Amino acid sequence: MYRWIVLSLMLLSGCAGTGMTAEKAQNSARIHTELAGIYFERGQMGVALGELDEALTSKSNYAPAYNVRALIHMSLHEDKEAESDFQRSLSIDRDNSDTHNNYGWFLCQRGKEKESIPHFIAALKNPLYETPEQAYLNAAVCSQKIGDNVVAEDFYKRALAIRPESPQALLGLAQLNFAKEEYGYAKRNFIDYAAKTEKLSAADLWLGVRIFRKLNDRNAVSSYEMKLRNLYPDSKEALSLNAN
């Protein structure tokens, strides 16, 4: 993919001297934005921003470029700039599902969970959206954060219906099952989650301890307690375990 992008840029640059047509400007903006996304994933923020400058020079109203630039600002905790770019992207293309999902997650991470949910729903309205399970998952997490557990459970189930192996959705359901005292369901979802996760966190292990305590499964409890003490001896979860 990377070689294809570079080749495409070389072909476009050969036409730059005569001025770009609308189609060539669109292609240039798209390719520079795709390159920016690659550099962003590698953590090369400065190079990514440079590519986005090129994209917006080619086409100043290219919505995906503003979306990617907003993600970079978000990762750098430049919230004012991130919000401005998200809003600019949506002002150009109000139906862009990727931007709605990303902006929703930004709002959720900044303590504006209620404002985030409509953006996830807007992302899901597009029948061509390629990753609806991510919007469902984000909506579930943000609903759970504000205690709207009924809605969160529905979102988690919708995410699993699309991607049954989603570990985040399985963990979220296990947490909600435990809170509702549905310990059998909590056990099933937690075990499925653990099977799909390379290393359980201290919070995961503490949840396992509490689930299996309720089910009086002493062997499982002992196993999770031992892992929690050995792997995370200074964690708040280990301290809670020792206090109990």
User: pLDDT exceeding 70 applies to what percent of the chain?
Assistant: 91
Q: What is the pLDDT at residue 21?
A: 85
Cβ-in-10-Å burial (0-12, 13-18, 19+) of 43 comes to: exposed
Is residue 62 domain-resident? yes
Provide the residue range defining the domain that includes 74: 1-94
Residue range 87-102: mean pLDDT, rounded = 97
Who has greater pLDDT, 2 or 72?
Answer: 72
pLDDT at residue 241, rounded to an integer: 86
Q: How many domains does the chain have?
A: 2
- The pLDDT value recorded for residue 59 is 95
Final residue of a structural domain among 52, 75, 94: 94
Q: Is there a domain that residue 124 lies in? A: no
* Residue 77 within a domain: yes
> Which of 94, 115, 148 lies at the terminal end of a domain, its last residue?
94
All residues at 6 or more sequence positions from 30 whose CB lies less than 8 Å from its CB, including other chains: 55, 62, 64
Who contacts 90 (Cβ-Cβ below 8 Å, separation ≥6)? Answer: 63, 96, 99, 100, 103
Instruction: Tell me the per-residue pLDDT of 112-138, one tens digit each, with 9 for 90 and over.
Output: 999 999 999 999 999 999 999 999 999
How much is the average pLDDT of 221-241?
95
CATH of the domain at 13: 1.25.40.10
**Domain presence at residue 22:** yes
| Model confidence pLDDT, tens digit, residues 189-208 | 999 999 999 999 999 999 99
Q: Does residue 76 lie in a domain region?
A: yes
Establish if 104 belongs to a structural domain: no
In this structure, is residue 114 part of a structural domain? no
Average model confidence (pLDDT) across the chain: 92
Separation of alpha carbons 58 and 85, rounded Å: 17
Mean pLDDT of 3-26: 58
Q: Choose one of 70, 94, 118: the last residue of a domain.
A: 94
